[in-house]
Amino acid sequence: MEPVSSSRDDSCPNVSFGTLLKATDCFSSTNLIGAGSFGSVYRGVLEVSGTTVAMKVIHLVCHGALKSFHVECEALKNIRHRNLLKILTVCSGSDYQENDVKALIYEFMDNGSLEWWLHPKATSSHHNGLPTKLNFIQRINISIGVASALDYLHHQCHIPIIHCDLKPSNILLDSEMVAHVGDFGLAKFLFGSSFDTAANQMSSVGFRGTIGYAPPEYGMGCEVSREGDIYSYGIRLLEMFIGLSPTDDTFRDNLTLHGFVAKALPK
């Protein structure tokens, strides 16, 4: 049984917009460490505790962003595992012009994302000073950590969770190079026979995943599944050991990462 750790620090109160501003030096570009479809991630230091954190500020003007925020909060509030990114608290309020502000505050991962290590040329300045190569044992241990997180989400949660976007940029590495799966904004809850309509509507955001990592059937409108997460895990595993992204320019004219490996290793 994997050791577990809380995914939500109940002793840490919700933070205000003013706290976000101070922690990130008014959302300075020098503190920007990542950006996605629904939000930007900043490095910040909480004034009271001096704790370095990662703050995901939601782009509420983007279609589906608010829904993604609620899904991530719902997914992270009850899950506990050492290979899942730990959420410390949230910001849910208004800025000084009374505009809504939503943000998720996470434990800061000293070694950035797996994406930064696999493809350093395509990364942000946060990678400066970090080594650019993972050794074989590190790759194995990271892969085992991600597999442990998936097993927990799929089979050990009270309500199973499908991650739906398992890619290197959503796998974070702490100071000891332990993998932590993050970004549950596209997650899907499997309610089985006791299907909860409201929660299902909340987690219904259309196509889930990222091109290259999402299984082909998702593009044809098929329901998300545990098998879909395993497909994404398999693509990421090939990427780790081959060194090529599934969207690399090498793959054109119907050649895929999976097909490339199959041809290279026919037996």
Confidence of residue 202 (pLDDT cuts 50, 70, 90): very low
Asked if pLDDT for residue 6 goes beyond 70, the answer is no
Is residue 250 helix, strand or coil? coil
> Taking residues 198-210, what's their average pLDDT?
53
* Per-residue pLDDT at 206: 53
Q: Is 144 a residue whose pLDDT tops 70?
A: yes
Cα distance between residue 108 and residue 33, in whole Å:
11
Architecture of 17-107 per CATH? 2-Layer Sandwich (3.30)
pLDDT tens digits, residue range 23-43?
999 999 999 998 888 889 999
Same-fold call for 17-107 versus 114-264: no
Per-domain residue ranges for the chain?
17-107, 114-264
Sign of dihedral through CA atoms 175, 161, 77, 14? positive
pLDDT at 81: 95
Residue 59 or 265, more confident: 59
State the DSSP code for 91: E
pLDDT surpassing 90 at residue 44: yes
Number of H helices, E strands in the chain: 7, 9
Q: Which of 95, 110, 165, 183 is catalytic?
A: 165
- pLDDT at 196 > cutoff 70: no
Q: What tens digit of pLDDT does each residue of 212-262 get?
A: 899 988 878 788 899 999 999 999 999 999 889 999 988 888 888 988 888
47-74 pLDDT per residue, tens: 888 899 999 999 999 988 999 999 999 8
Q: Which CATH number fits domain 114-264: 1.10.10.10, 1.10.510.10, 3.40.50.720, 3.40.50.300?
A: 1.10.510.10
Residue 165 a catalytic site member: yes
pLDDT > 70 in the chain, percent: 84
The pTM (predicted TM-score) of the whole model is 0.85
